[in-house]
Amino acid sequence: MPRDQALRAYSAAFFDRPRSLLEQTKLSLSEAELSVDVDVRRAISTFQQSTELAEASKKVVEQASKYFVDNKPANGQGYESAVAYALAAQLGFSKSQVTWAYEPFNSSYAPGPKKFDFDINEISYSAARAQVVTFSDSYYDVQQALVALKNSPIVTKHSPADLKSYVFGDQVGTTSLQFINSQIQPSQTPKVFETLNDVKQALQTKQIAALVTDTPTAEFITTEIPGSVVVAQFPSTGEHYGLLFAKGNQLVTCVNKALATLKGNGTLAKLTAQYLKDFTSVPTIQP
């Protein structure tokens, strides 16, 4: 091989090798950066998910605390705990004479004898339930509320005429579905689902524009569905929470008199403002 060709070949081999090593180094650094970037993104995602879960859990606790603070009804704090003790006082019982018993929600309105004098646990009166248990008069009037995703047109456009143009969805057999059909009367038939979870999923996937449920439940749902809001609530149509008794329990007569006194002297209104102000502050619109 001529000398100049040999030098060129040597030079090429010599200079190509550092270039190859440099490229390998850059490649390794790029892979490392990519690995770090992925790890950082995963960490950020995990942190965000943990933060969102913690925030949601906090909201759930806050919602529950509106009725029984710290889930301890005996402490007299929270709307329903305070109402129970106010009723006891009206009936001539001291706080120490009041005892609490745990009762699963669905068991409360089942037929048969009860292990309590009355149950106070956000139980809505219904004619079907009243066939097997006895209800007191209302201690909290329930309003239906509208839940939607915050970027939905219904958040800002919800006049009675506007409401008729949206697709609603709700759980089969509920007072909320009845409200949609009888009060809002949308032009499109509401989508009906077997469970409330199915309804919430339909809202998240934008199968429906909004769902309707009682205001306390609506507030709770917004802690479960990211980006959802309570748009507004509707005027009461008479739905209410009542104290629940075993069928035919005569104590209900005395309790209704006590409730009338608490309504008349402003006690229920005061307790509502103290514990349920988030619900009362929700704007009211016409269906």
Q: How many CB atoms lie within 10 A of CB 241?
A: 24
Phi first, then psi: what are they for 40, rounded to 5°? -65, -45
pLDDT digits (tens, 9 = 90+) for 106-129: 788 889 999 999 999 888 898 989
Q: Do the Cβ atoms of 222 and 147 come closer than 8 Å?
A: yes
- CA 250-255-259 angle, to 5 degrees, is 155
pLDDT digits (tens, 9 = 90+) for 267-285: 999 999 999 888 888 999 9
- Whether 25 shows a pLDDT value over 70: the answer reads no
- Whether 130 shows a pLDDT value over 50: the answer reads yes
Q: How far is CA 235 from the centre of its chain?
A: 20
Report the distance separating Cα 144 and Cα 282, nearest Å.
Answer: 11
Average pLDDT, the chain: 82
Residue 68's pLDDT is 73
Phi first, then psi: what are they for 268, rounded to 5°? -65, -40
Q: Which residue has the higher pLDDT, 161 or 31?
A: 161
pLDDT digits (tens, 9 = 90+) for 56-100: 444 444 444 577 777 788 999 999 999 999 999 999 999 999 999
Pairing relationship of beta strands 228-233 and 168-171 according to DSSP bridges: unpaired
Q: How far is CA 247 from CA 21, 41, 109, 112, 250, in A?
A: 87, 59, 10, 8, 9
- Does the predicted TM-score (pTM) go above 0.85? no
Mean pLDDT across the stretch 227-250?
A: 95
- Whether 32 shows a pLDDT value over 50: the answer reads no
Q: How far is CA 34 from the centre of its chain?
A: 39
pLDDT digits (tens, 9 = 90+) for 181-238: 999 999 999 999 999 999 999 999 999 999 999 898 899 899 999 999 999 999 988 8
Alpha helices (H) along 171-234 = 175-179, 196-204, 215-221
Q: Do the Cβ atoms of 114 and 246 come closer than 8 Å?
A: yes
Residue 124 exposed, middle or buried by CB count within 10 Å (0-12, 13-18, 19+):
middle
Residue 211's pLDDT is 98
Report the distance separating Cα 157 and Cα 82, nearest Å.
Answer: 38
Residue 65's pLDDT is 54
Mean pLDDT across the stretch 137-157?
A: 96
Two structure tokens written together for 105: 């929600």
Strands (E), 208-272: 210-214, 228-233, 240-246
Mean pLDDT across the stretch 131-135?
A: 96
Q: How many CB atoms lie within 10 A of CB 240?
A: 18
Q: Do the Cβ atoms of 215 and 182 come closer than 8 Å?
A: no
- Whether 5 shows a pLDDT value over 60: the answer reads no
pLDDT digits (tens, 9 = 90+) for 165-183: 999 999 988 889 989 999 9
Q: Which residue has the higher pLDDT, 17 or 83?
A: 83
Measured torsion, CA atoms of residues 200, 203, 207, 210, in degrees rounded to the nearest 10: 120
Tell me what percent of the chain is helix, strand and coil, each rounded to the nearest 5.
55, 15, 30
